[in-house]
Amino acid sequence: MKILIKWLVSATAILISAYLIPGIDVGGIWTALVLAVILALINIIIRPILVIVTLPINILTLGLFTFVINALLILLSATIVKGFDVDGFLPALLFAIILSIVNYFLSVLVYEK
């Protein structure tokens, strides 16, 4: 049940973030649900490998290069999920930042005890 709630929170965060950022287009709720699954899989499988490979530059930039990695993973997911369009690198970067902030606040609201 907790996984289903987390999935719905992620899809809601995707829809809110796409609404806030020009250059990001999510086709609808079903696209957001699919995108939430694809982003989760990408973050589980590909992201750790990229973080390890780019560790030296990540250390030099004090961790700020992680935002670039997140933006690249957003662009990758845009090629996989039909109905999710990103106009370029800068909207992807802003989407990654806003998505993590919105996802955090929604998670706090949902899981507050």
Residues 91 and 23: their CA atoms lie apart, in Å, by 6
Q: How many domains is the chain built from?
A: 1
Give the pLDDT confidence score for residue 21 in this predicted structure.
95
Cα-flanking dihedrals φ and ψ of residue 112, to 5°? -65, 135
β partners of residue 25: 85
Give the pLDDT confidence score for residue 66 in this predicted structure.
94
Residues 15 and 24: their CA atoms lie apart, in Å, by 10
Domain that holds residue 6: 2-111
- Here the tokens at position 86 are 């990103």
Residue 1 makes CB contacts below 8 A (sequence gap 6+) with none
Mean pLDDT by 10 residues, the chain (113 residues): 91 95 95 96 96 96 94 96 96 96 92 71
101 CB neighbour count, 10 Å cutoff: 14
